[in-house]
Amino acid sequence: MVKSISQFTDDTKDLVIGSENTPTPRSKSLHCKTDINSPTPVIANESRKSTSPGFQILAGLSALISFLILFRFLVPQIIEESRYSWYRGELRARHEASGNGLKNVSLNTLSEAYQMLTQYVGPSVVHIDVMREDSSDDELRKFLNSIPVEKWGLVSDQGSGVVIDRSGDVVTNLHVIAGANEITVVLSDGKRCPGLVVGVDSLTDLALLKIDADRLIPINWGDSDECRVGTPVWAIGSPFGLDRTVTFGILSGKNRLVRTSSRYQDFMQSDAAINPGNSGGPLVNSSGQLIGINTAIVGDTFRGVSFSIPSNIVREVYGRLKTSGRFVRGWLGLSLEELVSTDSNRNGAVVSSLVGADSPGAKAGILPGDIIRKIADEEIRNVGHLMRLAASMEIGSQTKLEIERSGKVLLVDIVVGKRPYDSD
């Protein structure tokens, strides 16, 4: 039989409240409330547990930690993949652009430019044959010299040179013609001319020869100071007697010093192949201008490093030799050391000592420890730069030095003296 709603309510009251005839349940875990509008009982403890503030904070922290872990490991990978993807795209774009550009470049045109440069400079380059005494065996040399046979006991050597002036001026290295009994200059057309030594400068290893020839084609001067590292260069000479050999490379460095060099040479470094016989030949730029005289290599044969005397030094020495046959240099009478500084913009030369009480530096009041910053208003790069600037000044002329002493900048007047090691 189905109970009515009123009967169901009365039975529920008896269950919850109890009566005299009905025992009350003692279980602490089941306290129920009855909603008269809903037949479904609600458990009070479970409702309080699910809505407690501590449980919500813990759940939020767990979610945050999970997010941070995902961010830590996933985001860098995403960024890295994006960067690689962008770089690959850039490489592909460059690849495609270069491919299209190469289709429009004519290697024949580049080859023709090289050929034109060789043809432009070639007539200015000369081959030099030298005959000198063989000093490899003194006893044999004495014996051969006692025999009255022309040229007996002489050995041949060779090098290169370059025509500087239409009048017959030829510049080469001093070591090419040093100790020569005979010098023969062979022109590009095959004509052979005797070479007369006009003057030499041992400190730069340069020599000026004079030949009697007409219709000469001199080389054009270039500015070695304007040449930058990475500039394409060509070396022309006669390595191993092979006339007017042309090699190509780039300017690898400037202001180099090698073991046997002097402060007055200030070598330029290139990777253009230079071998025995190239000495004295020109190093030229893409305009066919002289930017150096090829002089030295590392070792007995080319190893990827070659050295040349800058054209600006060559031009100054050439002018002095042409005028007087020698280069008498100016002198300050100072022993110098390189300035060591962590500041790359701080240049100069340090005075380590004075060369005698009567030297120009001592008379000017310069003291050991002074730092020379400028000479004649030109900033000093290093010791070699200062020596070359002083050497080019006229003997007896007065100039100003800017020096730094104990943190103070001073201007000092100094009279340029004559380098005591130069002969009159």
Catalytic residues: 175, 205, 279
User: Around 242, how many Cα atoms within 13 Å sit in the side-chain half-sphere?
Assistant: 9
- Contact, 233 vs 284, CB < 8 A? yes
Distance CA 186, CA 392 (A): 33
Strand partners, 11: none
Alpha helix stretches (DSSP H) within 268-418: 311-324, 360-363, 383-391
Residues 6 or more apart from 141 whose CB is under 8 A from it?
133, 134, 135, 153
Residue 400 burial (10 A CB sphere; 0-12, 13-18, 19+): middle
- Contact, 295 vs 307, CB < 8 A? yes
- Contact, 386 vs 378, CB < 8 A? no
Secondary structure E strands in 125-256: 125-133, 154-165, 169-173, 180-186, 192-194, 196-201, 206-210, 220-221, 232-237, 245-256
Q: In terms of Cα–Cα distance, which of 329, 302, 225, 309 is closest to 267? A: 309
Residue 219 burial (10 A CB sphere; 0-12, 13-18, 19+): buried
Between β-strands 220-221 and 289-297, what pairing exists: parallel, antiparallel or unpaired?
parallel
Three-state SS for 159? strand
Dig out the tokens for 393 from the structure.
Answer: 């000044």
